[in-house]
Amino acid sequence: MPNLTPGRIRHTVVFTPHHAPGSTEEADFLAAGAALAAIPGVEAFEVLREVSPKNGYRFGFSMEFADQAAYTAYNEHPDHVAFVQGRWIPEVADFLEIDYVAHDRD
Amino acid sequence: MPNLTPGRIRHTVVFTPHHAPGSTEEADFLAAGAALAAIPGVEAFEVLREVSPKNGYRFGFSMEFADQAAYTAYNEHPDHVAFVQGRWIPEVADFLEIDYVAHDRD
């Protein structure tokens, strides 16, 4: 993972589904999330397992956008909106969005 | 950012220093944190600015380790211990550690 290029945005969300750990429902939810990688502008998409004992979250998605316009287009894309409404809201118990850009050492 | 190789660990911490935004003290703290990159086993070290309006954190550090042994050695390294005791605890107001590994799609 090289340093983020200035202007790029790394959008991440760490979360815990309502589903039982290891369940078919959980796997299906993660697969539905992974399909977000196909939305135009999404780069470096990762499905991650959260393993720190210092928080209660279980998974993460991470992706990068070339710029704010690409991030905005993703947020507004019908496939993203449908995922949020149809899967994320009903199936996720807890989450935190964290977005990073390069630190410019001002 | 390619997908994490199985076995690798991405250790991240999102945080807010006590210091005034843009202050010399804040810059000095970030520089001290950046020096953690020199500890053996630390790879892909990044100093990041947190920009999501959905949380109150202001910065992040991200780094990767080849395996748990490298992560443990970092945690126990005297330079890391000294940073935590001498800088992190007195200078950080709020933080959350998030550690990721590749999701193996079990």
pLDDT one-digit tens code per residue, B75-102: 999 999 999 999 999 999 999 999 999 9
* Residue B102 contacts A, CB cutoff 8 Å: yes
Amino acid of residue B78: P
Q: Which residues of B touch A102 (CB under 8 A)?
A: 46, 48-49
Listed residue (B98, B61, B54) closest to A56, CA to CA = B98
Cα angle: B80, vertex B85, B91; to 5 degrees: 105
Instruction: State residue A82's pLDDT score.
Output: 98
Tell me how close the Cα of A97 comes to any Cα of chain B, in angstroms.
7
> B48–A9: do the CB atoms touch at under 8 Å?
no
Q: Which residues of A touch B102 (CB under 8 A)?
A: 46, 48-49
> B48–A10: do the CB atoms touch at under 8 Å?
yes
Backbone angles phi, psi at B11, to 5 degrees: -95, 125
CA A99 to mean position of chain CA atoms: 10
From CA B80, how far away is CA B88, in angstroms rounded?
10
> B106–A9: do the CB atoms touch at under 8 Å?
no
The interface pTM score, or ipTM, of the predicted complex is 0.93
pTM: 0.94
From CA A87, how far away is CA B53, in angstroms rounded?
23
Reported as a pLDDT band with limits 50, 70 and 90, residue A105 is low
Contact between residue A33 and residue A79 where contact means Cβ atoms under 8 Å apart: no
Instruction: State residue B104's pLDDT score.
Output: 74
